[in-house]
């Protein structure tokens, strides 16, 4: 199971060698790492002019429409957690609840260690219906050749994606026809609502009132999604926040503003990091990302613990939208390695950490402790896709699923006995246990208040 990339470059751009392209386009690996992959035969290029012409040289000068194949052994990829729940499975679609250490599909350092790859391997060895987890894990470690020897072909097409660290419900199609129908549902709804949001926010529009947000949410005829998030900071319980800030690439905005020194801190991950921009920009709003609209409702809050639990409804689906809007509110998602707030509890302080800080956090296994909640250490950002509803692509039946967030949150929270370095809060082991119990009770209250 590998990755295929069709090469393309602007007409005005100079020709480039394969190795140079890889280092520039996929900077998550060093130049030495790409050289090692080339030497090991993990990369090849099929010429656009002659499908029989294959090269593995990093010195090869790429041509338009050349196909680049990258097929590293799975053991070279970062480890993932293969624990999932399958809540629906038929000939057309499968609905899963994924954990917080599993990408949905290939990207970055991940090729086979993904939800798609996991499902394909499990289908290939014909044990999707088996209940013995130990047997599953043993068979998952089979090599690709042994799995393919079963000659049971299965394909999975992700219709929407969750971030690697976001838990919750995901639907994947098992047929191309079903994938097209489902994709149309998601895309048509997104396009229509984006137009409505843009009309009311661009060029100093009237904005989105609570009534209008509710009206647009009720008009979601195809797809419904509800998220639950644990936030850093004790927001007022029962409070409802509406966020309409636009979302776009941070790096591009820094360059447009002439902030070249700041841009250098975000150059390695310039295609990953997003930023907030005012919704009612009077000039050229299109230069500052796309419209985005979220509603954050605080379901439960604990000042002593320093956290809140929120229900988040979104009208649009921008990259990192919920994480960015929550950080912009002053209550970032607890455990977020990328987005923070410079104004805790106050709107306007969303900030992306420098590349080196994020990379160190992403590679570490110790988790994060927020200054707002020094008694909890979390392995990943606590965001969960709790509700997913859509029309079945074949039957047209309305399907709706709920995945309780409590199990998925609590499995990634650890006790913190010493507090944050430099923080006045110090706790004993017993107090840490009580902090974990307080979080559990907070989640219980939140789930009870979801009103689904």
Number of H helices, E strands in the chain: 13, 21
Cα–Cα distance between 93 and 304 in angstroms, integer?
44
User: Which class is domain 203-448?
Assistant: alpha beta
pLDDT value of position 272:
92
What is the b/e burial string over 15-49, where b = at least 16 CB atoms within 10 angstroms of the residue's CB?
ebebbbbbbeeeeeeeeeebeebbeeebbbbbbee
Cα–Cα distance between 430 and 434 in angstroms, integer?
6
pLDDT value of position 198:
79
**CATH architecture, domain defined by 85-174:** 2-Layer Sandwich (3.30)
Where are the chain's structural domains? 3-72, 85-174, 203-448
pLDDT value of position 256:
83
pLDDT value of position 257:
82
pLDDT value of position 249:
94
pLDDT value of position 420:
46
pLDDT value of position 153:
54
- Contact between 17 and 59 (Cβ < 8 Å): yes
CATH 3.30.420 fits 3-72, yes or no: no
Cα–Cα distance between 232 and 297 in angstroms, integer?
14
Closest by CA to 446, choosing from 405, 415, 410, is 405
pLDDT value of position 268:
85
Closest by CA to 173, choosing from 392, 386, 401, is 392
Cα–Cα distance between 322 and 312 in angstroms, integer?
7
Residue 89 main-chain phi, psi, to 5 deg = -150, 120
Residue 13: CB atoms within 10 A of its CB come to: 8
Cα–Cα distance between 389 and 411 in angstroms, integer?
25
For the chain, residues with pLDDT lower than 50 are: 126-133, 135-137, 139, 142-152, 420-429
Distances (CA, A) of 231 to 272, 298, 310, 406: 22, 9, 7, 14
- Contact between 126 and 93 (Cβ < 8 Å): no
Cα–Cα distance between 93 and 98 in angstroms, integer?
15
pLDDT value of position 150:
44
pLDDT value of position 419:
52
User: What is the number of alpha carbons within 13 Å of residue 194 lying toward its C-beta?
Assistant: 16
């Amino acid at each position: 199971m590998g990755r295929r990339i069709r090469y393309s470059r602007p007409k005005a751009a100079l020709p480039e060698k394969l190795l140079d392209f890889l280092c520039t386009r996929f900077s998550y690996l060093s130049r030495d790492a790409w050289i090692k992959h080339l030497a090991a035969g993990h990369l090849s290029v099929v010429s656009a002019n002659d499908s029989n012409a294959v090269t593995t040289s990093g010195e090869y000068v790429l041509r338009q429409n050349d196909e680049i194949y990258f097929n590293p052994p799975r053991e070279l990829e970062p480890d993932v957690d293969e624990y999932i729940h399958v809540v629906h499975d038929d000939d057309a679609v499968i609905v899963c609840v994924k954990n917080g250490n599993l990408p949905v599909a290939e990207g970055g350092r991940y090729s086979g260690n993904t939800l798609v790859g996991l499902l394909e391997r499990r289908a290939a060895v014909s044990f999707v219906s088996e209940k013995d987890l130990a047997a599953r894990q043993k068979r998952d470690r089979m090599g690709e050749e042994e799995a393919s020897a079963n000659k049971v072909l299965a394909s999975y097409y992700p219709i929407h994606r969750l971030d690697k660290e976001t838990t919750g419900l995901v639907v994947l199609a098992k047929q191309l026809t079903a994938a097209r129908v489902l994709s149309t549902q998601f895309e048509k709804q997104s396009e229509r609502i984006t137009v409505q949001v843009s009309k009311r926010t661009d060029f100093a529009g009237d904005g989105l009132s609570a009534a209008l947000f509710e009206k647009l949410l009720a008009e979601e005829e195809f797809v419904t999604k509800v998220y639950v998030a644990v936030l850093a900071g004790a927001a007022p319980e029962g409070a409802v926040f509406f966020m309409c800030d636009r979302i776009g690439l941070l790096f591009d905005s820094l360059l447009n503003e002439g902030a070249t020194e700041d841009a250098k801190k975000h150059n390695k991950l310039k295609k990953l990091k997003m930023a907030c921009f005012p919704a009612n920009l009077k000039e050229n709003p299109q230069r500052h990302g796309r419209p985005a609209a979220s509603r954050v409702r605080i379901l439960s809050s604990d000042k002593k613990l320093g956290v809140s639990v929120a229900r988040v409804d979104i009208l649009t689906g921008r990259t990192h939208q919920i994480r960015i809007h929550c950080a912009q509110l002053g209550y970032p998602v607890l455990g977020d390695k990328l987005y923070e707030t410079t104004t805790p509890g106050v709107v306007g302080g969303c900030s992306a950490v420098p590349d080196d800080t994020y990379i160190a956090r992403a590679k570490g296994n110790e988790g994060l402790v927020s200054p707002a909640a020094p008694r909890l250490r979390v392995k990943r950002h606590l965001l969960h896709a709790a509700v997913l509803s859509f029309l079945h692509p074949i039957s047209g039946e309305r399907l709706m699923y709920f995945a309780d967030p409590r199990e998925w949150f609590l499995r990634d929270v650890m006790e913190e006995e010493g507090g944050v370095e430099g923080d006045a809060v110090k706790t004993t082991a017993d107090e840490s246990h009580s902090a974990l119990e307080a979080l559990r009770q907070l989640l219980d209250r939140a789930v009870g208040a979801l009103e689904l």
